[in-house]
Amino acid sequence: MSNLPFPRIAVIGAGQMGAGIAQVCATAGCHVTVRDVDAEQAAKGKRAIEASTAKLVEKGKLTAGDRDAALARISFTDALGAAAQADLVIEAIVEDLEAKRALWRELDELAPPSSVFATNTSSLKVSDQAEVTDRPDRFLGLHFFNPVPLMGLVEVVSTAATDPGIVASATNFVRTLGKEPVLARDTAGFIVNVLLIPYLLDAIRLLERGGGTIADIDAAMKLGAGYPMGPFTLLDTVGLDTVLRTTRALFAEFGEPRLQAPAMLERLVVAGRLGRKSGKGFYDWTVVPPVAVEREK
Ligand code: 3HC
């Protein structure tokens, strides 16, 4: 415990990413406070952590004792002040710049000056958040990937103002989570999403043009290109709302036509078909195995 760079972690937001981040931090030995104002979301996050750790025990990747110890290190709160008392605060709320800036302003008042702030943004510039705090030197991006307990990468994003010592501690911290850090520049989308999002959008446009069915495009990329999941399974895993917000942020930054959101993506999000987390997206996840919804209506 004592050799952890950040022994006390606060995770703000108990959604898919927040729950996953809390889980991997607690499994590594950190004490984690998860803050969510929505009690239902907090309960959902707690259940996701329990289900994920149960699966890892079942697969022999975690002992039952280590699982119990990790779960005992996680607590939930709706009070930001309680969460702010941490060595590292990781933000995983909605991908909305103004919401994130408002959160950081509040946290900057509540947290001790020593606390380090990290955003898990997928697409927004870290500096646009850091600038509203009095600690831009202790502010960076830590971008995790979905599903967090299984994915081996974290993008570590520093701004021109981030203290190199903080970057070193954060990089070390990522390794203690059993993940590989890569250093990325503070440009929208960092490394992975700049490459991944256009590919996912192209898959949707291919479907819109009738270039293949959901099931066939997924099978094609899995078996023909060696991807671990096809693009539509991945879209549903990441969450279509998250993909749409990320797409809009990338379009705002780079303005390339290829980064414009396809109409089908917009329609599915408006219809509440967000993917795995809502039960339906390109696939119907309420049945086993999930079935591709080849017609929208
Ligand atoms: N915790 C524990 N287990 C989980 C889990 C979780 N959160 N999520 C899924 N699993 C389990 C499943 O239940 C399944 O269990 P089963 O075998 O008993 O059915 C198992 O993991 C899936 O195992 P598979 O044998 O199908 O696959 P692998 O274990 O070999 O790989 C994977 C799973 C690592 C998720 C792989 O499919 C993969 O790499 N997919 C691509 C994911 C990806 O690209 N993520 C990045 C998205 S981009 C992003 O997040 C950035 C954001 O900013 C947009």
Q: What is the pLDDT of residues 67-114, one digit of tens each?
A: 999 999 999 999 999 889 999 999 999 999 999 999 999 999 999 999
Residue 127 CA, ligand 1 centroid: distance in Å: 31
Say if ligand 1 is within 6 A of residue 53 CB: no
Measured from the CA of 145, which atom of ligand 1 is nearest? 50
pLDDT band with cut points at 50, 70 and 90 for residue 295: confident
Q: How far apart are CA 195 and CA 151, in angstroms?
A: 17
- Radius of gyration, alpha carbons of the chain: 19
CA end-to-end span of the chain: 53
Burial class (CB in 10 A: 0-12, 13-18, 19+), 193: buried
DSSP string of 23-44? HHHHHTT-EEEEE-S-HHHHHH
Q: Which two tokens stand for residue 24?
A: 């991997």
> Residue 3: its pLDDT value, please?
79
> Residue 175: its pLDDT value, please?
98
Say if ligand 1 is within 6 A of residue 105 CB: no
Average per-residue pLDDT for the chain: 96
Say if ligand 1 is within 6 A of residue 285 CB: no
Is it the case that residue 211 has pLDDT exceeding 90?
yes
* Contact indicator for 77, 34 with CB cutoff of 8 Å: yes
Segment 155-172 shows an average pLDDT of 98
Is it the case that residue 23 has pLDDT exceeding 90?
yes
Residue 38: other Cβ atoms inside 10 A: 13
Atom 2 in ligand 1: which residue has the minimum CA distance?
A: 52
> Residue 71: its pLDDT value, please?
98
pTM of the full structure = 0.95
Q: How far apart are CA 102 and CA 38, in angstroms?
A: 17
